[in-house]
Amino acid sequence: MQYKILNDGNKIPVLGYGVFEIPDGDCTDCVARAIECGYRHIDTAQIYGNEAGVGRAVKACGVPRDELFLTSKVWVKEFGYEKTLKSIELSLKKLKTDYLDLMLLHRPYFDYLNAWRALEKAQSDGLVKSIGISNFTDKQTAEILDIAKVKPAVNQIELHPYFGRKKLKSYLEEKDIAVEAWYPLGHGNKKLTQNPLFSKLSEKYKKTPSQIILRWHIQSGNIIFPKTRSAAHMAENLDIFSFSLDEEDMRAVDSLDKNKPLFNVPDWWQKLTIKLSR
């Protein structure tokens, strides 16, 4: 495994396991398989509804807590100083841990400035080691930086070869804020994974198209946490550190950038957004 040193000095595995849209009842087995396979970085969120499932797996896995890196995210309805602090305590209870390695503000809505102040408080109290943001634009990140006593360690954003986020990545690199890429494989979008370039590179490097894409992320400096329920795919996704893409091939993947997201807003998000906007 490779690691990145964040701007606060903490170390994060560059490859983790994501649990977006895995129901709580299934999440325990999936995370247990991932940990058994060798993953030590698990990414969840309050809105996923599966923190408890992750917690059960973490408690039962037998791996020392300090060898695991756990991330969660505060949902927007919990923004506000006191509400955010209480929500962090609830997340810790569900995850069956005394601290989180990384806590993020999930999306830039409502009172995220006071939510950020609450993250700083949680960090100073030892409840969270690193703090960051998710889905924030450069302007919204600048708002946080204007009031922050502690700089965000990461910004977690949709990023893949079809949505390279070059402008935002450049801004974050300038501010020494690490980039975490969700949807690293475009959520398995076949237009992406079956692009002829990846078939060509797959043959050249004797790796799968998914491994080529994940390797591109690693060499681009992105922290990633692809999701799969398959033990075989978990192992496959981990096996990306034994080869490197040459510079010409990296540029070829870069050239696929359409600057368009692949995330399709799910029904639950549309309904929740309408409800929250009232």
**What would the DSSP string read from start to end of 247-261?**
HHHHHHHHTT--S--
37 pLDDT above the threshold of 60: yes
pLDDT band at 266 (very low <50, low <70, confident <90, very high): low
Q: What is the pLDDT of residue 123?
A: 98
The Cα–Cα gap between 122 and 131 comes to 9
Q: Calculate mean pLDDT across residues 244-254.
A: 98
Q: What is the pLDDT of residue 274?
A: 47
pLDDT tens for 42-57 read 999 999 999 999 999 9
Q: What is the pLDDT of residue 269?
A: 56
Chain CA centroid to CA 26, Å = 20
278 pLDDT above the threshold of 50: no
Closest CA to 133 of 168, 167, 161: 168
**What residues have CB less than 8 Å from 199, skipping those under 6 apart?**
209
275 pLDDT above the threshold of 70: no
Per-residue DSSP letter, 229: S
Q: SS3 for 211?
A: helix
- The more confident residue out of 190 and 106 is 106
Q: Calculate mean pLDDT across residues 237-265.
A: 92
The Cα–Cα gap between 29 and 50 comes to 12
Q: What is the pLDDT of residue 189?
A: 81
The Cα–Cα gap between 130 and 4 comes to 13
Per-residue DSSP letter, 245: -
pLDDT band at 277 (very low <50, low <70, confident <90, very high): very low
Q: Calculate mean pLDDT across residues 72-92.
A: 97
264 pLDDT above the threshold of 90: no
In the residue annotation, 112 being an active-site residue is answered as no
pLDDT tens for 150-199 read 999 999 999 999 999 999 999 999 999 999 999 999 877 888 999 999 99
Q: Tell me what the pLDDT averaged over the chain comes to.
A: 94
The Cα–Cα gap between 141 and 82 comes to 22
Looking at 3.30.70.260, 3.40.50.300, 3.10.290.10, 3.20.20.100, the CATH number of the domain 3-277 comes to: 3.20.20.100
pLDDT band at 128 (very low <50, low <70, confident <90, very high): very high
Quickly count helices (H) and strands (E) in the chain: 12, 10
Q: Which entry of 3, 17, 39, 48 is annotated as an active-site residue? A: 48
Each domain of the chain, given as residue ranges in start order, spans 3-277
pLDDT band at 101 (very low <50, low <70, confident <90, very high): very high
Report the chain's C-alpha Rg in angstroms: 18
